[in-house]
Amino acid sequence: MPIKRPTLLGITLAATLVVAGGTSAYGQPPAPVAGVTGVPASAAPAKQVTLVTGDVVTATNVDGKPAVTVNPHSPDSLFRSYSVGSDVYVVPLAVQPFLASGQVDQRLFNVTGLIAQGYDDANSATIPLIVRYPKQAAAKAAAPATPAGSRVTRNLPSVRGAAVAADKKQAATFWEAVDDDTAKGRGPKAKLSGGIERIWLDGKVHALLDASVPQIGAPDAWAAGYDGTGVKVAVLDTGVDPNHPDLVGQIADTRSFVPGETVQDGHGHGTHVAATIAGTGAASGGKYRGVAPGAKLLVGKVLSDEGSGGESEIIAGMDWAAHSGAKVVSMSLGGTVQDASDPMAEAVNELTAETGALFTIAAGNSGPEATTVGSPGIAAAALTVGAVDDTDAVTYFSSRGPLTDGRLKPEITAPGWQIVAARAAGTSMGTPVDDHYTSASGTSMATPHVAGAAAILAQRHPDWTPERLKNHLVSTAKTTPDTSVYAQGAGRTDVSRAVRQPVSGPGVVDFGNQEWDSTGQVVKPITYVNDGDQAVTLALTVKGAGGDLPAGTLALGAGTVTVPAHGTAAVNVTLDPSTVASGAYGAHVAAASADGGTVVATAVAFVKDVERFNLSVKLMDIDGKAPASTYSVVWVFDLDTPRPADMYFILGAEGTVDLRLPRGQYAFASGTYRFTPDYNQVRDYVYGAESGVHRDSDRTITFDGRKADLVTVETPKPSQPKRTLMGLTLLKDDRSLGYGLQDGAYGYTRMHAIPSQLKKENLAHRLSWSLSAPELSAQIVSPGAFPIVPEYVDGWIGSARLDGTHVLHVVNAGIGRPQDYAGKAAKGKLALVRRSDDLTSGAQIANAAAAGASAIIIYNDAPEGWGISSYARTPTAIPAMTLAGEQGARLADQAVHGDVMIQLKGTAVSPYTYEVLKHQEGILPDQSYQVSAKELATVDAAFHASTPNTEGGYGRFIIGPQQTFLVMTFARMTLPRSVTEYVTAGAPTLELMSPTPVWEALPAYQQTGLTVLQPGQRVTRTWNKAVVRSAITANHPGGALRNRDAGVVLPVGLLDEATGQLFGYRHNADKELTTVYRDGQSLGSAPSAQVAFPMTPGRAQYRLVTEVQRNQPAWTTSTKVNTAWTFHSAYDGDGEQTTGLPVISIDYGLNVDLNNSLQAQSAVDIHLGFRYPQGLDGLRIAETKMWVSYDDGATWQQAAVTANGDTGATGTIKNPALRGTNGFVTLRVQATDADGNTVEQTVTRAYQLR
């Protein structure tokens, strides 16, 4: 299915965000601001997005590539990720059945698309959804109960559903309520539960006269007595300025559907549109009068003052307008969704049929390319409008058809170039003409011309249906010669002809899609209607639109037709698609009377499909059978199309997907997860890919799992995979086509790769591993020994780990109930219990611990393996393991008949890890990889934490050649710890580290920039080392700058002692506040450490006072940081517009241990480094002072300070005895540079004493 991101339809709209990072020496300049504001989250280097399943994805950009980190809600969650162009999708495996069946909107997992729409977590606390109820539920008096974790924000009867806001903090609860728990066993037959039939993203939709009104003949209609009087026209847009002179007295009713905003137009788009329809021209002496000044307006504000709105708000506005007596509804808005089942398109069709309202909708501004009309303009019942200039030439930006299903859109055009109409007070949309008028271009401007024309025609014929109004307007339009029907429909609106001419016809005769090998003729009638009192004879001609058609392609059944008075007459038009090659074709049938007084235009359209062939993609598992898992997938990539569809399907029982694909080159990829029988854990992942498949005949592609090679990796030291990721990128001429996908598995899952048979050079194949020392091995050391392979209970924290060697006696404890331990002396032994439906694994573990067992093994009650996941936030009370059914049953039998002893060897904390990347062209037959010490670099990493046993997380990206995007998950780790990392050298890499629990919705973390380590290189890396403080990162080029009269300063609220970090992301419990002063006067405050603020042209002193607090149980140092930056700046109008600001950051050098502590009663040297933001040189520190406190700042002692060059100093203090302190040391530093710029920083509990 096509995957496209919603885009802006109004070409005149502009954004005014302050953005950090960018293109100049100091990054992208800030936009003008009126007061102090927190820098929008959309400008932050990283954004977090909570998916509807409760999983949290963090997105950033690395070396020009999108990079996402997945924080799963459930410890056993698996994800598929793939990219299409710049869009990155992260799809939890559990939702795949619902995506494949179309029950859940794929946009809900387009991470980059969600961020672009402002649905990241910093900007939205809820996930906006549109849900549909089953027919039987919707027919009841009351709607189904709202799923847990969500609330209904408005009912949407036109789509048989409601707008629902799912609380991100309860997103997992919501998904659990709507997820059919049997989905994973039912595949394509899976159904949503909780009274929900379908779920869409409530996506954002955007807003998309003197010469133009006469251009469409409106003055002639006025002269005939028709100006829309008695007709209500609804305008669904950004609201209206009701006090504009042109609109006073023209508005019958208003309503705002935008939460927190009145109907007052703070954008300007809606006022311009409303006045184009029914403005009186009062402010211009009638010069800029609208098309139908006699009509009355119903104004629904469905787009915010920023020019965008949710789909549910628009649908609610449509419901209101259609049920409030509007004969015409004007909608100059839209998105790029092209699925006809889109809820906005469905609402148009439903409301048209129910209420008789005609919806005139903008085609969009995504031209001149074909197939660019978006929803709701794709609705069949809509009158979709393109734009022309003052010569009736279609504008370059006007969106074109055909639609993806072959239908013709738009049907009509109207003036949309440099249209002058009312300007809302206080707005500057478009190009202002004066205080009352502004000029704008777009299909947004064309649409109200057609709405006004429809109002005039509805006044002339009040009993006409919307279909009749639509056909009459379209068939009386003026055709622009040599222009495609897919650009103009039948032509430019001619309301003068529409009012006076009694004869009309179908505006469009659409033959739709025709098969490429069609040989038969297709016949459709053109039926003409005459409302006049005299019969009219019409001469008929057909001419190709935008180019001549071969003879015989379209043939008319007659050259003339006489349409009787108050009657109809039909002429057949016959299509022979065999005369043309593949493509979109159109013609205009003109029917004209001899005197030229009657002219009827009909656009005829058809699409000749491309040559297609049958293709079957067959999957076979490693056992030669069809995959048992419902999570098997096939990707199909068209290598000849720049942005082809990325399609995936759940395979049926036969393990085959049958497709009809156009001739061309393709690539295919497959992936199958093999689960344990109870779907608790993934045992195997089987994948394959083929590229350069030529489609020129019917064919079968088979991915035979029996040919797959087990993926293995051998490292210099013993290791086991903690995570294995497979990545594929499609190439052409050694360049990425913008396609990539990534799948993978964790823990004990085995990876199997099916070798590629075709063009390996078109396929970049990557494998990456995170490995650690083997954590568990077991051996029976009593008579009758046989091999056993236990596995730890998995989960957030999972099992408590064994460390060292332990020999334990086995006690058979049945199913692990308390009574099963009676008389068995389990203390200090290894409890062996059988899985049972009567007892949870958590209860079995707890019962074993209560009986005194030192560890427990739970074996499956079925022959095969079995895995357990623990969802607790703490480790199990005792080490807990699982065992395959055969091994467990045999062990239990031995334990009944004799003394069984097992030797367990464990490594609780691995002293080393491997981060390995391998890549190759295609998937080669041998998937055994060896890693030598010569290809590795070594990183001695220290992860500090002030509280023992703190839960945190860490992850590393390694970027392979041709990689289009990056996906990873945090590895959970207990802090503090030190570890030796062995990393593949020569590849760009970056790291992320969270000192707070990564299962939290918004954990704190920091990220490095890109580094490339060399073979044999050894480096040291510290994380979360004291002193953690507020500072601008050393390698952020846009950290502090001004652009004329706007400034932005972007410190990280809590940044650790290392200087390699690129940025930090604050914890959800952090509190930040910054106040900005200019020459001693407050400019305001913002709840953020990163702020934008206004600046004056002349020289002034600015002071930023920031306080950051973190209230998190395990966070005991740097609990509060207060920083005051004072600097001077001026802009005289000459030179560079963007300049750096001399904001001084402090770097601390302190020899703390892993617990961020120093010895009490010891002398301490605290090394201080000072710096400007990157790109600004010349810092010379003139004076440095330091104070120390041992009671959180209640009392202070000044420390001795020695200067170290221009940018450094050393403070020396003597830590007192521990009993004379509160256990912590608070620091205050003050520094002034040679130009009088200062920094004063107080770090409460900077480090602790021991």
Burial code of 482-513, b = ≥16 C-beta within 10 A, e = fewer? Answer: ebbbbbbbbbbbbbbbbbbbbbbbbbbbbbeb
Write the CB contacts of 78 (distance below 8 Å, at least 6 apart in sequence).
Answer: 92, 93, 673, 682, 745, 746
- Mean pLDDT of all residues in 561-589: 95
Residue in 591, 581, 584 with CA at minimum distance from that of residue 550: 581
pLDDT level of residue 901 (50, 70, 90 thresholds): very high
Predicted pLDDT of residue 1007: 80
Report the length, in residues, of the chain: 1250
How do the domains of the chain map onto residue ranges?
A: 46-202, 225-500, 502-609, 776-906, 1029-1249
Q: Is the pLDDT reported for residue 22 higher than 60?
A: no
For the chain, what is the radius of gyration of the CA atoms?
35
- Mean pLDDT of all residues in 582-597: 94
Q: Does the active-site annotation cover 269?
A: yes
Active-site residue identified among 444, 756, 770, 1157? 444
Q: Is the pLDDT reported for residue 641 higher than 80?
A: no
Range of lowest pLDDT (291-300, 594-603, 659-668): 659-668
Residues above pLDDT 90, as percent of the chain: 58
Q: Which two tokens stand for residue 296?
A: 């009355």
Q: Give the CA diameter of the chain.
A: 112
pLDDT level of residue 295 (50, 70, 90 thresholds): very high
pLDDT of 507-542, one tens digit each?
999 999 999 888 889 999 999 999 999 999 999 999
Beta strands in 382-535 (DSSP E): 383-388, 412-415, 419-422, 431-432, 437-440, 503-504, 508-514, 522-530
Summary mean pLDDT of the chain: 87
411 to 525, 544, 607: CA distances (angstroms): 18, 16, 16
Predicted pLDDT of residue 1221: 95
Predicted pLDDT of residue 664: 82
Predicted pLDDT of residue 99: 83
Write the CB contacts of 225 (distance below 8 Å, at least 6 apart in sequence).
Answer: none
Tokens 């209420």 -> residue: 355
Return the higher-pLDDT residue of 781 and 864. 781
Q: In angstroms, rounded to a whole number, what is the distance separating the alpha carbons of residues 1215 and 1224?
A: 10
- Mean pLDDT of all residues in 400-411: 94
Active-site residue identified among 73, 206, 267, 269? 269
Residue 1169: how many other CB atoms lie within 10 Å: 17
Residue in 1078, 1063, 1069, 995 with CA at minimum distance from that of residue 1030: 1063
Q: Matching CATH topology for 502-609 and 776-906?
A: no
Beta strands 37-38; 308-310: pairing state: unpaired
Range of lowest pLDDT (571-580, 646-655, 770-779): 646-655
pLDDT level of residue 651 (50, 70, 90 thresholds): low
pLDDT level of residue 28 (50, 70, 90 thresholds): very low
Tokens 């594929």 -> residue: 728
Q: Is the pLDDT reported for residue 600 higher than 50?
A: yes
Burial code of 219-244, b = ≥16 C-beta within 10 A, e = fewer? Answer: ebbbeeebbbeebbbbbbbbbbbbeb
Predicted pLDDT of residue 694: 73
Instruction: Report whether the peptide linkage leading into residue 368 is cis, meaning its omega lies within 30 degrees of zero.
Output: yes
Residues above pLDDT 70, as percent of the chain: 88
Range of lowest pLDDT (530-539, 977-986, 998-1007): 998-1007
pLDDT of 451-476, one tens digit each?
999 999 999 999 999 999 999 999 99
Q: Is the pLDDT reported for residue 617 higher than 60?
A: yes
Active-site residue identified among 237, 684, 820, 1147? 237
* 766 touches 960 (CB < 8 A): yes
Q: In angstroms, rounded to a whole number, what is the distance separating the alpha carbons of residues 1127 and 1144?
A: 9
Predicted pLDDT of residue 718: 96
- Mean pLDDT of all residues in 295-307: 95
* 336 touches 5 (CB < 8 A): yes
Which parts of 216-336 fold into alpha helices (H)?
218-223, 269-278, 311-322
Range of lowest pLDDT (207-216, 675-684, 1113-1122): 675-684
- Mean pLDDT of all residues in 494-515: 95
CATH code: domain 502-609 is 2.60.40.10
CATH code: domain 776-906 is 3.50.30.30
Residue in 1148, 1142, 1232 with CA at minimum distance from that of residue 1183: 1232
Q: Does the active-site annotation cover 444?
A: yes
Q: Which two tokens stand for residue 1084?
A: 């305001």
Q: Is the pLDDT reported for residue 774 higher than 50?
A: yes
Rounded-to-5 percentages of helix, strand, coil across the chain: 15, 40, 45
pLDDT of 954-979, one tens digit each?
888 888 877 777 777 777 888 999 99
353 to 332, 360, 380, 466, 474: CA distances (angstroms): 21, 15, 11, 9, 19
Tokens 């039912």 -> residue: 186
Return the higher-pLDDT residue of 56 and 692. 56
* 338 touches 375 (CB < 8 A): yes
What pairs with residue 689 in β-bridges?
669
Q: Is the pLDDT reported for residue 713 higher than 60?
A: yes
Tokens 């046993």 -> residue: 949
Residue in 297, 107, 284, 115 with CA at minimum distance from that of residue 210: 284
DSSP annotation of 85: T
Predicted pLDDT of residue 876: 87
Q: Is the pLDDT reported for residue 61 higher than 80?
A: no
Return the higher-pLDDT residue of 478 and 187. 478
- Mean pLDDT of all residues in 1028-1038: 86
3-state DSSP assignment of residue 1018 = strand
DSSP 663-682: SEEEEEEEEEEEE-TTSSSE
User: What one-letter code names the amino acid at 413?
Assistant: T
Name the superfamily (CATH) of residues 225-500: Peptidase S8/S53 domain (3.40.50.200)
Range of lowest pLDDT (138-142, 173-177, 868-872): 138-142
Predicted pLDDT of residue 997: 79
Predicted pLDDT of residue 226: 94
DSSP 627-694: P--TT-EEEEEETTSSS---B-----TT-EEEEEEESEEEEEEEEEEEE-TTSSSEEEEEEEEEEEEE
Predicted pLDDT of residue 691: 78
Predicted pLDDT of residue 650: 60
What pairs with residue 941 in β-bridges?
979, 1021
Return the higher-pLDDT residue of 998 and 846. 846
User: What one-letter code names the amino acid at 449?
Assistant: H
